[in-house]
Amino acid sequence: MYIHNIDPILIDLGFLEIRWYSLAYIFGIIIGWWLGKQILCFIIKYLKVSWKKEIFDDLITYLIISIIAGGRLGYVIFYNLNYYMNNPISIFKIWEGGMSFHGAVVGVIIGTWWFAKQNKTNFFLFTDIIAIVAPVGIFFGRLANFINSELYGQPTNIYWSVIFPKIDNISRHPSQLYEAFLEGLLLFIILLPFGFSKKNINGLSSSLFLILYGVFRIFSEKFREPDVQIGYLFNSISMGTFLSIIMTILGILILIKNKNELFK
């Protein structure tokens, strides 16, 4: 059993606080941007795509805006709509917390579609790159969730359980770490080879990301405490599970659409 005592603030200068959560976003974006450019350079070289690698720099701006806007609106709509309907100004108080991964995915899809349309390029080629590098950000994000004592797990007596004193004195599953391993590290290991494959199948990495993330999240949700303001939908599944089911179905549909390319 581990008693959580990690300070979510790495450096406190009085007038400025540097938090682990902020660093997670920064490192996730920087490493994802760098790796995404490496994949794009490979695609340009070996798949003879007539792009300039700088196009990914332009896409990053769209992605940052899409992640923040989609993640926040997703949390507002999916997880606490009644509260924000009565307190609309709080929607803009992002520093108080409240981001939805599934909302961020929707935001990224819309932002990438718009960027691809503006540049008259292939939508799936962009989303495939994003799908491969996204687990990096997810990994850091889930570690930050653990440090912040948020999105904690259900009570358990297993020997690797964690007590989060900011929450209560009950030993719980470190569900944030389960998600960091499954949705971050393992998903990254599975998808990375597709980024450097000389056989490019549009939408394959995107569909695999949606399916595998959905499956891993559904599994992890079994150990995670549901959001107190929602509880369980239909008295059986969490909102995260429900949204992950939809995500998995979408991934399967994209995979079916590309089945002819898969078996060439």
In tens digits, what is the pLDDT along the chain, a chain of 264 residues? Answer: 899 999 988 888 877 888 888 899 889 989 999 999 999 888 888 776 666 777 878 888 899 899 999 999 999 998 888 889 888 888 887 766 688 999 999 999 999 999 999 888 888 889 999 999 999 999 999 999 999 999 999 999 999 999 999 999 999 999 999 999 999 999 999 999 999 987 777 889 999 999 999 999 999 999 999 887 788 888 889 999 999 999 999 999 998 887 666 555
Q: Cα(6)–Cα(199) distance, rounded to whole angstroms?
A: 45
- What pLDDT, on a 0 to 100 scale, did the predictor assign at position 214? 97
* Among candidate residues 250, 189, 260, 248, the one with its CA nearest the CA of residue 221: 248
- What pLDDT, on a 0 to 100 scale, did the predictor assign at position 147? 94
- What pLDDT, on a 0 to 100 scale, did the predictor assign at position 134? 96
3-state class (DSSP) for residue 110: helix
- What pLDDT, on a 0 to 100 scale, did the predictor assign at position 261? 61
**58: CB partners within 8 A, 6+ apart:** 115, 119
Say if residue 72 is exposed, middle or buried (CB neighbours under 10 Å; 0-12, 13-18, 19+).
buried
Q: Kindly report the pTM of this predicted structure.
A: 0.90
Say if residue 252 is exposed, middle or buried (CB neighbours under 10 Å; 0-12, 13-18, 19+).
middle
Which single residue is written with the structure tokens 């332009």?
Answer: 58
- What pLDDT, on a 0 to 100 scale, did the predictor assign at position 44? 83
DSSP, res 60? H
Quick check: 109 and 131 in contact, CB under 8 A?
no
Q: Cα(248)–Cα(219) distance, rounded to whole angstroms?
A: 13
- What pLDDT, on a 0 to 100 scale, did the predictor assign at position 57? 82
- Structure tokens of 46? 């070996």
β-strand pairing of 17-19 with 162-163: unpaired
**C-alpha atoms less than 13 angstroms from C-alpha of 193 in its C-beta half-sphere:** 3
Quick check: 217 and 251 in contact, CB under 8 A?
no
Q: Any idea where the domains of the chain sit in the sequence?
A: 2-49+120-262
Beta sheet of 2-3, edge-to-edge order? 2-3, 162-163, 171-172
